[in-house]
Amino acid sequence: MSTTRNVAVIVGSLRKESFNLKVAKAMAAFAPASLKLNIIDIADLPHFSQDWEANPPQSVVDFRNKIGENDAVLFVTPEYNRSIPGVLKNAVDIASRPYAQGILMGMPGAVISASIGATGGFGANHHLRQVLVNVNMPILPQPEVYLGQVDKLLNDKGELDERTQKFLEKFLASFEQWITRNTKA
Ligand SMILES: Cc1cc2nc3c(=O)[nH]c(=O)nc-3n(C[C@H](O)[C@H](O)[C@H](O)COP(=O)(O)O)c2cc1C
């Protein structure tokens, strides 16, 4: 019996023409049938405040519920000033609460960073990994994905070049195994 894994995809850029969003959409299109990539919009999330922890806004409840409909989380993020964009950190903080009950706890995850620069968002990628350790998410160690000069990897139709697509197909196969290993039967 084949199992389809649902993967919440959280993109760390709100830009309409975001390369990271394009990478996420391209991956959703070529992902195997056994892996369904569901992009979750974080644009309308409020700034996290511990004041509303007992009674969070509806958009926060909806966001947490949407993540909970999935088996795993894939983060696709740019690097801002050698770290994680604030909007992404805010989304993770929101999904990490209430304390010890956050929806992300224990969910298998993976991180992709993409930048127009040469270093492929290495700094953001590893800052995010540090954050996700505290959320108790098992994060795929390998393959690491740092997509440098990402603007040159996508065509006008939002498709990735063949070499990058092949690499990301292998990444998705590893991620699928990682999800299986880290999912309770
Ligand atoms: C505030 C800000 C800070 C940035 N800092 C970095 C950086 O530290 N490293 C890097 O490689 N690119 C940096 N960039 C460039 C981004 O890689 C580039 O804008 C990229 O296209 C953003 O991702 P997106 O296309 O998904 O929105 C920065 C861009 C912005 C707006």
> What share of the chain in percent tops pLDDT 90?
96
Mean pLDDT of the chain: 97
Pairwise CA distance, residues 88 & 36, whole Å: 21
Burial 68-88 (b: 16+ CB within 10 A, else e): eebbbbbbbbbbbeeebbebb
What's the gap in Å between 25 CA and the centre of ligand 1?
Answer: 19
Domain spans, the chain = 5-180
Q: Write the pLDDT tens digit of every residue in 54-68.
A: 999 999 999 999 999
Ligand 1 binding site (Cβ under 6 Å of any ligand atom)? 13, 15, 18-20, 78-82, 115-117, 119, 121
State the pTM of this model. 0.98
Backbone angles phi, psi at 9, to 5 degrees: -110, 120
Whether the per-residue pLDDT at 1 is higher than 70: the answer is no
Please, are residues 165 and 30 in contact by the beta-carbon 8 Å criterion?
Answer: yes
What's the gap in Å between 125 CA and the centre of ligand 1?
Answer: 13
In this structure, which topology does domain 5-180 adopt according to CATH? Answer: Rossmann fold (3.40.50)
Average pLDDT (153-179) is: 98
